[in-house]
Structure 1
Amino acid sequence: MEAMPERAGILTFSTNELPERDRVPVWREVFGRSISKLDLELVSNDPLLCESSIRALPDVTIWSSLISGAVTAKRTSSHLADGDDNFVLNIIRRGRLSVTQRDREVIPDEGAAFLWSNAEKGTLRQLETSDFVSVALSRRLLEGVVRNVDNVFMRPIPASTEALRLLRTYIDVLLGASAPTSPELLALSAAHMGDLAVLAIGATRGEEEVARNGGLRAARLQAVKSDILANLTQADLNIEHVAARHRVSPRYVRDLFNADGTTFGDFVREQRLRKVYRLLCDPMERRRSIGEIALTCGFGDISHFNHSFRRRFGETPSDARERAIRNPANQSIELS
């Protein structure tokens, strides 16, 4: 299926390189039939522009889509014959949608979400270019753990909902370049996503505690780690600032890392050392001194940096750089 090549477990689909007359038919046949389970119609005369990334996990499929202009997507009586009765949690990143199903209409705000049922006919009207992410959840996953699941679909879920906010972060990781690839981690990721979706939609009392101890904590840890990586070069990066940004206590962040088998400080140091090591092996960074590289990666004490580097990699920073110069084809050691 050339329209949907695979990259590290992630399928990509784009109409942009197709002839204009073929874009809607190909979307319907490739993406609409197998992924979104919808039909598509153009509202204007503008050509269809669609780019999507898809990842399938146990009991969960996620895809992000950027679709240009005004379009209408429908699930009709003929679609219901496919027997798919799963739910789809749709999260609006940007744009405007008007969604109708079972005489209910939702016009979600940016960042908000709504639950759609594949067991029902329905219409999604995209009023302008929109960027959204969808999470297909098996009915089996939701029944019994969500209060009155057939009654809560097509109800807006505010963007401020904590579980939804963390789910968005988790999705970005799973569709990104650093996404896990092992079957064990993918199965665990699927379970955590299910937990977060259940919390966002509305868990039963017993399952809510289970979900909070599983997917919510995992997503919070992932969000904290992403925050650290984004601010790694700041010398004053500390647990108090990170905790405040995520509206939790420093003790809670410490507990998250302890449960992960490490500490906040160890994680920060490890990521800074990895960054320094990569830069020392980069031919484009040869003119920069080792001390300058260490400082820009967040190390404020060069003596402490040198000691930490040697203990971590079994060689001095100078040795690492010289080895990379002598053998550019094998510039790095295993960073595990």
Structure 2
Amino acid sequence: MFSSADNVVSFSLDDVPVQHREAFIRDVCGRTQRRMEVSPHRDHTLKFDGTTVLLPDMMCTKGSVSLMAWERTAELMDDGNDDIMLSWNRGGSHVSMPGLGDFAARPAVPALLALDRRFSVSTEDSTWSMAIQFKRSLVTPFVRNLDDIRPDYIDGSNPVHRLLFSYLSSLSPDTAPPALTALISRHVTDLLVLALGARHDTASSGVRAARLAAIKQHLSTAFHEPGLNVDQVARKFAISTRYIRQLFAAENTSFSDYLTELRLAYVHSCLIDRRQVLRRIADIAFEAGFVEPSTFYRQFRLRYGTAPNDVRHLAMTAGLPEK
């Protein structure tokens, strides 16, 4: 096993001594890495060559595998992994799910598998295979009843499927360097959402809305960091600064204005809190993420129409009897 890039791992069973290959397949490739029981076909020479590209919240594996069955058992489900997997095989796949029945995915058409369910998979030909495993949270906001979708749901003739397949097939150490993994992950997510049944307009607007909501949630807990800026947030969410600005502009505001509003609201809440009457206003402002006092006082007056001292005085004297 070797890594040809920080986010690419390649493996060949040829690197393992012959006498240890079956045990390695079962224990390392199966139970440890895939969290599945693996049963190699007795009439075929063991083969397992593959390359995995690691992306944010997903990974794509391509390779060539000898015939074997894969089973996600109740015992191995104790890892709590509820990822979703799309698995392509040259010979198609036969999927059996206890309580739900048997399904067949045609050659070169993916089987949809949820890792929080028991299932077994076998194939007639895996001389080439490909799988994309991803966090279900990437698609659940946009795909209704994800858990009700059949393993053989995806239509191989669907243009979106062909686009997804081609995109994943093109991934390699050269086309997926670490600097581009975030962008690639976004592209794959949008294609997955569409392939799993969301309308194009729903997927597009839904992705934008979900990303904006996630950014706002992050800002609500990180606004106090003095150095917080749009570049940091863009890196965290693996999107461009331009895209973030577009998301806020669609709500008739800007990233900086939204962040300033969060900080000012925090300061205001402290100023009207009687328990904090002895705290210095400058200390509260700094705690909220303001670095320059003059900037804070100017923005506070613009927002509330009065000075911080006046807000505190009014709050502290409210309800007191007049002299």
* Structure 2 length-normalised TM: 0.58
**Residues 135 and 211 from structure 1, CA distance in 2 versus in 1: closer, same or farther, beyond 3 angstroms?**
farther
Is 1:77–2:74 an aligned residue pair? yes
The 4+ residue runs of structure 1 with deviation greater than 3 A are: 204-207, 209-213
The equivalent residue for 1:209 is 204
Is 1:119 the counterpart of 2:94? The answer is no
Output the CA distance in 1 between the equivalents of 2:155 and 2:23: 34
Give the aligned length.
206
Give the match for residue 150 of structure 1. Answer: 147
Change (3 A) 1:128 1:182: closer
Q: Separation in 2 of the partners of 1:121 and 1:191?
A: 29
CA 47–132 in structure 1, closer or farther in 2 if over 3 Å, else same: same
Aligned to 1:97: 93
Match of 2:16, SS state, is: coil
- Cα deviation per residue 1:100-152 (whole Å; 9 max; x = unaligned)? 12423222122211210100111011233442211111021121211210001
2:183 corresponds to which residue?
Answer: 188
In the other structure, the counterpart of 1:13 is 11
- Name stretches of at least 5 consecutive residues in structure 2 with no aligned partner: 209-323
Matched letter for residue 135 of structure 1: I
Whole-angstrom distance in 2 between the partners of 1:163 and 1:152: 17
Q: Which residue does 2:65 correspond to in 1?
A: 67
Distance in 2, matches of 1:18 and 1:172, equals: 27
SS, match of residue 199 in structure 1 = helix
The corresponding residue for 2:45 is: 47
Letter of the aligned partner of 1:58 in structure 2? Answer: P
Asked if structure 2 preserves the Cα contact closer than 8 Å seen for 1:146 and 1:204, the reply is no
Equivalent position SS for 2:162: helix
Q: Which amino acid aligns with 2:74?
A: S
8 Å Cα contact 2:59/2:134 also seen in 1: yes
The alignment status of 1:138 with 2:97, answered yes or no, reads no
Root mean square deviation of aligned Cα = 2.3
**Contact 1:198/1:211, CA 8 A, preserved across alignment:** no
Residues 75 and 121, structure 1, Cα contact 8 Å, conserved in 2: yes
The aligned residue for residue 262 of structure 1 is none
CA offset at residue 163 of structure 1?
A: 1.5
Kindly provide the amino acid, as one letter, of the partner of residue 98 in structure 1.
H
SS at match of 1:187: helix
Q: CA deviation at 1:206?
A: 5.4
Amino acid at match of 1:186: T
Shift of 1:29: 3.1
Asked whether the equivalents of residues 96 and 130 of structure 1 are also in contact (C-alpha less than 8 Å), the reply is no
Q: Say whether the 8 Å CA contact 1:10–1:53 is kept in structure 2.
A: yes
Kept in 2: contact 1:32–1:39 (CA 8 A): yes
Using the aligned pairs only, state the percent identity: 24
Contact 2:142 2:206 (8 Å CA) reproduced: no
Residues 211, 166 of structure 1: alpha-carbon distance in 2 compared, 3 angstrom cutoff: farther
Q: Does 1:110 align with 2:107?
A: yes
Query: After superposition, where does 1:282-293 map in structure 2 within 5 Å?
Result: none
Alignment of 1:272-287 (within 5 A): none
Q: CA deviation at 1:90?
A: 1.3
How much has 1:196 moved relative to structure 2?
A: 0.5
Change (3 A) 1:75 1:182: closer
> What SS does structure 2 have at the residue aligned with 1:84?
coil
**Could you tell me how far apart the structure 1 residues matched to 2:19 and 2:63 are?**
20
**Which amino acid in the other structure matches residue 109 of structure 1?**
R
Q: Does structure 1 retain, via aligned residues, the 8 Å contact 2:105–2:152? A: no
Q: Which runs of 5+ in 1 are unaligned?
A: 214-336
